[in-house]
Amino acid sequence: MDVAFLSATDLGRALARGEFTSEALVSGLLARIRTYDPVLNAFVEVYGNTALLAARESDERRSRNRARGPLDGVPFAAKDLFDVEGYATLAGSKASPVTAAAHSSTAVRRLLAEGMVLVGKTHTVEFAYGGWGTNPSCGTPVNPRDSLVQRVPGGSSSGSGVAVAAGLVPVALGTDTGGSVRNPSALCGIVGMKTSLGLIGRGGVQPLALVFDTVGPMTRSVEDAALIQAALQGEDPDDPATFSVPRADPRADLDKGIAGLTLRHPSMENLNAAEPGVLERFRETLADLAAMGAILEETRLPRPLETYASLGANFTTAEAWSRYRHLVEKENSLVDPGIAMRMSRGETMTIADYLGYVEQRRLMQTEFHRYLAGADAVLLPSSPITAKPIDGAHDAAAPFGIFARLANLMDLASLSIPMGDAEGLPTAVQIMVRRYADPLAYRIGRALEVKRGGLFVPPSGYGLTSPFLELSRTVDRAV
């Protein structure tokens, strides 16, 4: 058993049993990062010495029977939108001011309070504004799922997806404005959650479009994602969206099963943007869910997915332009020309336009509420395509929003989980539930995870590095 690909839950249990120390675990992951990241380019910066010190502190707590919980000593990484005290948040842009953050973001602080060990920051699309995961300015992470062709990782939480999939960290933080957690999760073959807006605070997280922005976990199992979300949830004094929000434990009823639940999905005509291999895996997934006792219903969406995607894109563009135009319009701007060109569509958007978007959204949400009536969740593929070659992708239109933006626009939670490979590349299904019903999404995803004996499959070519050999033998003997 390769320790590098164990779930955070299993790592926590192994640490609690004393099978290895957090220091040994973190040392092993740092060695893997040194070995593989020069090719993968997942990390913006690695906090080696700080991480080792935090790991030793975790081991010391455990030696005194004062471990903070199941995540104490487990490593994680954060997308370079999250403030980390003492380090600059660059948001994937050379145009960002290099100013050290005075305080860590609320999400980072919450995981540190659980005893988790921050290993470093991961790459993002510039200002989180893009779906391919490419970043010509600061470097594009490479999807680990193809050892022969460099493929896009999905964005904008690109480095987080790559780091988790390649066994560099078991957990990473991402943000989702229009699919930015789910896109890389789908293309890299991991689990990613677009959480309900207001459950997790965004204090200290650089925004793209506050109307949609959410923080979410990226992991290798549904169980892990629920565990991380439980640690992240709570009122954030720096994010009014979290005030007085009802919260349920995402681990509640996790293993209750799905017998009797009604799971609705769009008509296949609605999904005509999807590649044949993606649709084939989707049909197989629907069949598995039905075999577990769920009631599957095929119902045509009120509007084409492209309509929802277009309106969601308009909201994001208007906010992004308002927030970053001063950097785009600056003389000798360092913003990537492709990002600047797409973002500058917001220049022609007026207040009247934006109010029109708000009204259109209200009408669509009313329609979609009726569509959801009688159903527990809506299912559709997370991405219409599998990972494409990096070459030429940055300047092409990214199709991910067609399937992903619906959840943001309708104010839903959406869990993306692997549903098998198509021609050797990952595909994924998203489980969309009503706002604040996040635990139900985890319950449905967990049922499929259990039925299939796990969802994550380690990529080839990223096996054991020498510091982990003995750790893995120790775990094998314990199992």
**Residues annotated catalytic, as ranges:** 79, 156, 180
Rg of the Cα atoms in the chain: 21
Contact 412, 379 (CB under 8 A): no
Residues contacting 18, CB < 8 A, separation 6+: none
Q: How far apart are the first and last CA of the chain?
A: 9
DSSP summary character for residue 435: T
Beta-bridge partner residues of 205: 82
Within a 10 A sphere around the Cβ of 299, how many other Cβ atoms?
A: 15
Within a 10 A sphere around the Cβ of 113, how many other Cβ atoms?
A: 12
Length reported for the chain: 479
CA angle 372, 412, 349 (to 5 degrees): 110
185 token code pair: 């999760």
- The beta strands (E) that lie in 184-334 are given as 191-194, 214-219, 262-265, 295-298
Q: Which residue has the tokens 């299912």?
A: 379
Identity (one letter) of the amino acid at 279? Answer: L
Within a 10 A sphere around the Cβ of 430, how many other Cβ atoms?
A: 31
